[in-house]
A and B are shown apart, each in its own frame.
Chain A
Amino acid sequence: MENIQKNKIYEEQFLLLAFISIVTFKIVMLPQYLVSTASNNSYMVMFFMVAIEVMMLTVVFGIAKNGSILEQDIPKWLKGALAILVFLSSIIKCTVRGSEGIAYISTSLYANVSWTFITLALVITCIYIAQQGGKVLARSAQIFFWIIAFAVAFFIIFSQINLDALNLMPFKISGDLAIAGDKYLMWFGDFTPLLFVTVVPSKNHGKKRLAIWTALAVLGVILFTVGLMLIFICTFGNAGELMGNAFLNVSSLNKIFFMIGSADLPTVLSWLVMYIVKFSLLLYAMTSCAKFFFGDKVIVSLICGAIVYCIICFGIGNLNTNYTLATSWLRYLMVFFEFTVVVAAYIAMRVSQSKKQQNAKSDNLRQPNANQTDTAQGEI
């Protein structure tokens, strides 16, 4: 019961988590990789894949409204199977995608700091947030949201980008788009961690307000992913294949540079907080699955954190290995896990609901007879 309370989040918080979940890993190295494969039309790949993710998230939202998948009325063996799949998917994402962020922090924010320190600091912080449950995670995201909002406002006010639409032309649908979509699958499909929260309606907010927030979240996702790709291509053209961190490269083009030098702190901060939330969310999914088998103990979370730490520092260790792993067969496995879990969880939930309805119907049919008997007995 306590567990259910710990993982209860409001609808708006779910939308914010979904936004961070989709956006975080797509705005760093992915634009560079997409441009190197599909050049000026690569924004279409981003649009197509993000659209699929948004659609899948609506299914996840429907499931999460009925509670976390581990607490739903579905067979225990199925819960176990789903937990194993999500655990594997999250560990792949957490290590392969997570190490991309660590590479950025170690080389760009600091001057080549060892991964071991950065990973340790991140894993400790994120495992702590994950251990606190979905509610704390969502609340943290809500607090961090203001940093993201500030960074966006800062960017809009001070940006100085000369967009050159010539770089986007010609509009051409070619096989390169499919190749890019396939090669970089690992960067997409970020929805299973949200299956472990229970979404409840906000207390004083109506449906209209939820609709507005949903529209804003979808718009935000499109702007941060497809919009960023468009700006990135217009700004750098095919030279985008040399530009590492797209989000920072685009946002660092501001007027303030000419006054006080490079002013990318708001963007760095906003990305870092998104990264912490996303990393915590993946660890949260991992620990939730592990706890399903080994019980709700702190040691389970710590072991999960230690596994992630070891894989990132001693298994991956640099950006080249990270890229090799991210574009290897692991991507197919991860996508299979992500989609299978959501579809299976949805079907299981519907079956369980229809069973419940049938039981309720048959109970109702039996109930009048029982009432009649009671009345008759009473009369006697």
Chain B
Amino acid sequence: MKKPKIVNKKWLVIVIIIVFLVVFSLLEEQKSISARSIVLAMSIDLIDDEYEVGIQLLRTDLKDKQEFITYSTTGAHLTEILEKLSHDSGGLVSLCHTMVLILGQDLLTKDRDRAMRFFIENEELCNNTMIVASKDSPIEALSVKLSNGQGGGYYLGGMLRNIVTDLGVIPITIKDYIKNRYRIGNCVYLPCVSVEKTGETTFLSVTESFITDGFNYSILSENATKGLSLVLNKLKSGELSYTVDNKMGQVDIVKSSADIKVEQDAANVKIKTQLNDRAYVPENIDEERSVEDLQKNIKKYVEECFFSCREKGLDIFYLGQRAYAQGKDFYQQNDFLENMKLKVEVDITMK
């Protein structure tokens, strides 16, 4: 006689697997989300061969009161620093939701990307985390309490999402940064943030760009930053202004595209822009002259961007990479950038 089956073997195995998977996290030291310090924004700088790292957290209490808290510490190794910050903040520092990383100028020009490589290779930060350079101390930009009550780092994260349309500054993420660093010339551009005060109002200003190849750097003005955005095909909307007969007008960018062709001694930039005059047009203005002025302005922006970078040996338009892509090797010459002339053509269509 066959013995009656108490438990079906198949189901027994399935139950064992489920139990194993459920209790799996108990077997290892896995911190729950409540025991983690979720970092919203972070800052790093290099001071006397030591890293100064700051993190900003959001703490809410039962009454829905929000408080932005900043912790900072220094150390020679980033793992050590993160451990210290975990201890100080009372939870394991978790960087995967960090919206923005604020970098100091010394870190960008003296660290040889050691800190950045640490975060990328160890997958500490998400690829979409945005990065900015700080004109002053990055910890100041991170921890500043703005007039709207928000923490500097948190506000910056939200602001950077729409910045390209408003101000012409190109927001870049970690993956863009590292991609550009691996290009010929190693040149990267980052939005440059500074803390401004007007009376009792404290705010963050992001209108300029920080350009570096890891050693040299240049800070581009607001106009030169617009030129950079136009050449690199990043400024697809926003506003441009012009002046005719002392009358100022503004136009909206509808569409814009740029093409760069590089030869041994010259770079030809062609910008095609479609604008409309819905923003602000003064009365009795000559459209032809306003277009001419806009063309002149755009040309000036692009030239300012190119020449101020060239002066510091920075190949901001990636001309070396473009030459390499065309299968040419003249970018390897030492004076390749020095002798490069720039020709800018601007084609404007009013809609």
Within 8 A of B (CB), among A223-239: 235-239
Judge if A128 is at the interface, Cβ distance under 8 Å: yes
Interface string of B155-188 (1 = CB under 8 A from A): 0000001000000000000011011011100000
Q: Which of B97, B121, B123, B183 contacts A237 (CB 8 A)?
A: B183
Q: Which residues of A contact B178 (CB under 8 A)?
A: 236, 239, 242
Whether B179 and A235, one on each chain, are in contact in the complex, defined by CB atoms closer than 8 angstroms, is: yes
Whether B96 and A261, one on each chain, are in contact in the complex, defined by CB atoms closer than 8 angstroms, is: yes
Stretch at the interface among A83-91, A142-150, A252-260: A252-260
Q: Which of A113, A236, A244, A262 contacts B126 (CB 8 A)?
A: A262
Q: In the complex, what's the smallest C-beta–C-beta distance from A298 to chain B, in angstroms?
A: 10
Whether B182 and A238, one on each chain, are in contact in the complex, defined by CB atoms closer than 8 angstroms, is: yes
Interface size grouping (class) on chain A: 35 or more
Whether A114 and B175, one on each chain, are in contact in the complex, defined by CB atoms closer than 8 angstroms, is: no
The residue of chain B having its C-beta at the shortest distance from the C-beta of A164 within the complex is B179
Whether B182 and A237, one on each chain, are in contact in the complex, defined by CB atoms closer than 8 angstroms, is: yes
How far does the alpha carbon of A252 sit from the alpha carbon of B17 in the complex, in Å?
Answer: 29
- Contacts A114-B28, A239-B181 given: A170-B327 contact, CB under 8 Å? yes
How far does the alpha carbon of A139 sit from the alpha carbon of B220 in the complex, in Å?
Answer: 60
Within 8 A of B (CB), among A255-292: 257-258, 261-262
- Contacts A113-B30, A170-B327, A238-B182 given: A108-B175 contact, CB under 8 Å? no
Whether B17 and A124, one on each chain, are in contact in the complex, defined by CB atoms closer than 8 angstroms, is: yes
Stretch at the interface among B19-27, B198-206, B223-231, B284-292: B19-27
How far does the alpha carbon of A235 sit from the alpha carbon of B182 in the complex, in Å?
Answer: 12
Whether B175 and A235, one on each chain, are in contact in the complex, defined by CB atoms closer than 8 angstroms, is: yes
Judge if A110 is at the interface, Cβ distance under 8 Å: yes
Judge if B280 is at the interface, Cβ distance under 8 Å: no
Whether B327 and A172, one on each chain, are in contact in the complex, defined by CB atoms closer than 8 angstroms, is: yes
Whether B28 and A110, one on each chain, are in contact in the complex, defined by CB atoms closer than 8 angstroms, is: yes
Whether B120 and A242, one on each chain, are in contact in the complex, defined by CB atoms closer than 8 angstroms, is: yes
Whether B325 and A166, one on each chain, are in contact in the complex, defined by CB atoms closer than 8 angstroms, is: yes
Please classify the interface of chain B as helix (H, G, I), strand (E, B), loop, or mixed, using the class held by over half of its residues.
helix
Please classify the interface of chain A as helix (H, G, I), strand (E, B), loop, or mixed, using the class held by over half of its residues.
helix
Whether A110 and B30, one on each chain, are in contact in the complex, defined by CB atoms closer than 8 angstroms, is: yes
How far does the alpha carbon of A107 sit from the alpha carbon of B161 in the complex, in Å?
Answer: 30
Q: Which residues of B contact A120 (CB under 8 A)?
A: 20
How far does the alpha carbon of A166 sit from the alpha carbon of B327 in the complex, in Å?
Answer: 12
Whether A170 and B126, one on each chain, are in contact in the complex, defined by CB atoms closer than 8 angstroms, is: no
Q: Which residues of B contact A113 (CB under 8 A)?
A: 28, 30
- Contacts A125-B17, A128-B17, A166-B322 given: A262-B128 contact, CB under 8 Å? yes
The residue of chain A having its C-beta at the shortest distance from the C-beta of B21 within the complex is A121
Within 8 A of A (CB), among B295-327: 318, 321-322, 324-327
Judge if B117 is at the interface, Cβ distance under 8 Å: yes
Whether A170 and B326, one on each chain, are in contact in the complex, defined by CB atoms closer than 8 angstroms, is: yes
Judge if B1 is at the interface, Cβ distance under 8 Å: no
Q: Which residues of B contact A262 (CB under 8 A)?
A: 96-97, 126, 128
Judge if A365 is at the interface, Cβ distance under 8 Å: no
The residue of chain B having its C-beta at the shortest distance from the C-beta of A262 within the complex is B126
The residue of chain A having its C-beta at the shortest distance from the C-beta of B184 within the complex is A238
Q: In the complex, what's the smallest C-beta–C-beta distance from A262 to chain B, in angstroms?
A: 5
Q: In the complex, what's the smallest C-beta–C-beta distance from B254 to chain A, in angstroms?
A: 20
Whether A257 and B179, one on each chain, are in contact in the complex, defined by CB atoms closer than 8 angstroms, is: no
- Contacts A237-B182, A242-B117 given: A108-B123 contact, CB under 8 Å? yes
Q: In the complex, what's the smallest C-beta–C-beta distance from B173 to chain A, in angstroms?
A: 8
How far does the alpha carbon of A117 sit from the alpha carbon of B24 in the complex, in Å?
Answer: 8
Q: Which residues of B contact A128 (CB under 8 A)?
A: 13, 17
Q: In the complex, what's the smallest C-beta–C-beta distance from B185 to chain A, in angstroms?
A: 13
3 closest A-B pairs by CB: A169-B325, A239-B182, A238-B182
28 A-B pairs in the complex with CB atoms less than 8 angstroms apart: A111-B31, A114-B28, A117-B28, A121-B20, A124-B20, A164-B179, A169-B326, A170-B327, A172-B327, A236-B175, A236-B178, A237-B183, A238-B183, A239-B175, A239-B178, A242-B121, A242-B178, A244-B123, A249-B127, A249-B175, A252-B127, A253-B127, A253-B175, A257-B128, A258-B128, A258-B161, A261-B126, A262-B97
